[in-house]
Structure 1
Amino acid sequence: MTPHSRLLAATLTILLGSCLSPTSLLANDIAEIPDFMGDWSGEWTNPKGGYYRNSFKLMARVIGKGDNIYEVQFVEEFDKRVRPYLVATARAQGNTLVLQSGDWNATFSEGVCKGAGIPIDGELMEFELRKIQRVSPTKGQEPPADAIVLYDGSGLDAWGTGSKNGAVWKIQNNGDLVSIPANPETRERNNLYTKEHFEACRIHLEFKVPYEPYNRFQHRANSGVFFQNTYEVQILDSYGNTGSWDDVGAIYKVSPPRVNASFPPGEWQTLDVEYHPAEFNLGGTLVALPKITVYLNGVMVQKDQTITSQTSHGWKGRQPEPEYVTGPVWLQDHGHQISFRNIWIQKL
């Protein structure tokens, strides 16, 4: 598929809306991750004074948009809800990424970025950044002695599937568990369910999203972790997004993450979730809504968040019901090749 046909397909997806399958037409259009893309960290090299005399930090996210186009976000820190110094478009020219926007300029090449810009309420200053790869502090975390190992690369004995026509969940030679879409244009899904049902629990899992440069919004590497069939913690390629209620770490369409702590596609990320179901009295009257705490890549993005309604598409807006105080945990097949590993759960 040529770049022009990719863009045409993406445009048709937006324009036709419900006339097309909800699964992205380009879900399997996975690209290699460019060297420029990802996190950059460094400092202002000649701070002029005032605030910047003691705060030299400068960081950048480089997000691929396809066709050698990139969005660059300059910020003071990652994993904070801070106003960017600059969000601008850059274009790759051979092995160099070049940005020119107003008084800002930057070149990214061979893991080094050099440039100059004007921070908020500041003067023109030079900076130097280097490409980095952040690692979640819970990556590779071993399961506690009382945990149930759901997936360790050796098999899927703890899991069952729904449809026989949806994705095929395959264990790769390296032990990664990957959902392979059977047909990106079909509505058929094949979610992976735990055979055992759980009430209050704590789960750890690691995931990696592919790079889909021509896909946008909910069509960009979408999946999720569901509790009791009804409450979804979103998985998505949200790298560089603001962190809305349908981004990674969100309680889908209920609560946005406190910050967007996502890593770039192609890098392993972690979700650590503690879930407590709704409570009912003996008469079946609801006395407490479910609550959830979520850490994305070691950063708390939900804290004791009350889940006010069910999040599943067919049930949105409905309050919990007594029969939904226990149920399986499941991984969503949304037509994208998401990788998983090191999944374990504790009953609380």
Structure 2
Amino acid sequence: MVLAGSQFITANAQEKPKPADTEFYTPVPAVVSPGATNSSAPSDAIILFDGKNLNEWVSVKDNSPAKWIVNNGAFTVDKTTGNIETKRKFTNYQLHLEWQIPSNITGEGQARGNSGLFLASTGGGDLGYELQILDSYNNKTYTNGQAGSIYKQTAPIVNANRKPGEWQSYDVIWTAPVFKEDGSLKSAAKVTVLFNGVLIQHNFELAGPTQYIGKAAYNKAHGASPIKLQSHGDKSEPISFRNIWIREL
């Protein structure tokens, strides 16, 4: 301490805060080169569909190679072979996917281009956490079943659909659920979704995997999971997909 008149002043009290006091230089963020456009894959992405083949996908039914139809840089649902899912399993991620409803779509409500993006596939059939795909451009249905909904759990904040025949995009930030050693839930799944560049789900906390009948609940613990695309099996026209990539977080 130093003596100033009749008062004692500490050395620390004499030092003024500096900008450097709150600066740090490690860790250094990894360098990631962005794509040529916001929809193009960055340098650290895993390409799930490159417009050429379905080598990253398998049939949910029997784990055989996916047989959906690849043509002109896109692939189309084949309802005879059922759902497909990624060979790889993921926990937390950023996902980009583009989809298209045919311009000559018929039907109404849920029978109008129905499919689903399952953000984590927890078993065969339609088990998992579904982000709905549907023609919701001037097509009425229950709001937690329209395009951009977390199916049967919450409606999108807004309806950002383009017309049938135009390409639509989903950009998803997925935080997987975490379970305790005894299988009980530690933290719920959360999702943020941009639909055609518009925020439609904002860090929504899921009540559990999708249920067609009854309320969702976390009844079974699971870890890393594939991403699944649904072959709905109704009479609506088949949906096409392109430009699918993912970044693990």
Find the counterpart in structure 1 of residue 241 from structure 2.
340
Superposed CA deviations along residues 236-295 of structure 1, whole A, max 9, x for unmatched, are 000024781101100000010000000000000100011111122344331211000011
- Tell me which amino acid in the other structure corresponds to 2:232: H
Match of 1:219 in 2: 111
| C-alpha RMSD over aligned residues | 2.3
Identity %: 38
Residue in structure 2 matching 1:254, options 145, 153, 158: 153
Aligned residue for 1:69? none
> Which of 69, 72, 82 is equivalent to 1:170?
69
SS in 1 for 2:110: helix
Letter in 2 for 1:346: R
Secondary structure of residue in 2 paired with 1:146: coil
Residue 338 of structure 1: CA displacement?
Answer: 0.5
Q: Which residue of 1 aligns with 2:93?
A: 201
Letter aligned with residue 144 of structure 1: P
Which residue number in structure 2 is paired with residue 239 of structure 1? 137
Residue 54 of structure 2 corresponds to which residue in structure 1? 156
1:147 matched to 2:39: no
Distance 2:37 2:108 in 1: 27
Q: Which amino acid in structure 2 is aligned with residue 259 of structure 1?
A: V
Normalised TM-score (structure 1): 0.54
> Which of residues 280, 294, 307 is equivalent to 2:179?
280
Q: Which deviations, in whole Å up to 9, do the C-alpha atoms of 1:46-74 show, x marking residues without a partner?
A: xxxxxxxxxxxxxxxxxxxxxxxxxxxxx
How far apart are the structure 1 equivalents of 2:239 and 2:219?
Answer: 29
Number of equivalenced pairs: 201
**Which AA in structure 2 matches 1:142?**
S
In the alignment, residue 245 of structure 2 is paired with which amino acid?
W
Task: Determine if contact 1:254/1:309 at 8 Å carries over to the other structure.
Answer: no
1:317 aligns with 2:209: no
Q: Residue 169 of structure 2 aligns to a residue in which SS?
A: strand
Moved more, 140-149 or 262-271: 140-149
Per-residue deviation, 1:316: 5.2
* Bigger RCO of structures 1 and 2 (CA < 8 A, at least 6 apart): 2
Between structures 1 and 2, the one with greater strand share: 1
Whole-angstrom distance in 2 between the partners of 1:244 and 1:314: 16
1:145 Cα shift? 1.3
Contact kept? 1:140, 1:342, Cα under 8 Å:
no
Unaligned segments of structure 2, at least 5 residues: 1-35, 122-127
Amino acid at match of 1:226: F
Q: Pick closer, same or farther for the CA change 1:314–1:329 going to 2, 3 Å.
A: farther
Say yes or no: does 1:307 pair with 2:222. no
Secondary structure of 2:207 counterpart: coil
Instruction: Find the aligned partners of 2:154 and 2:133 in 1 and give their Cα distance.
Output: 14
The CA deviation at 1:309 is: 2.4
TM-score under structure 2 length normalisation: 0.74
Per-residue deviation at 1:315?
Answer: 8.1
Q: Amino acid of the residue matched to residue 175 of structure 2?
A: H
2-structure distance, mates of 1:247, 1:231: 15
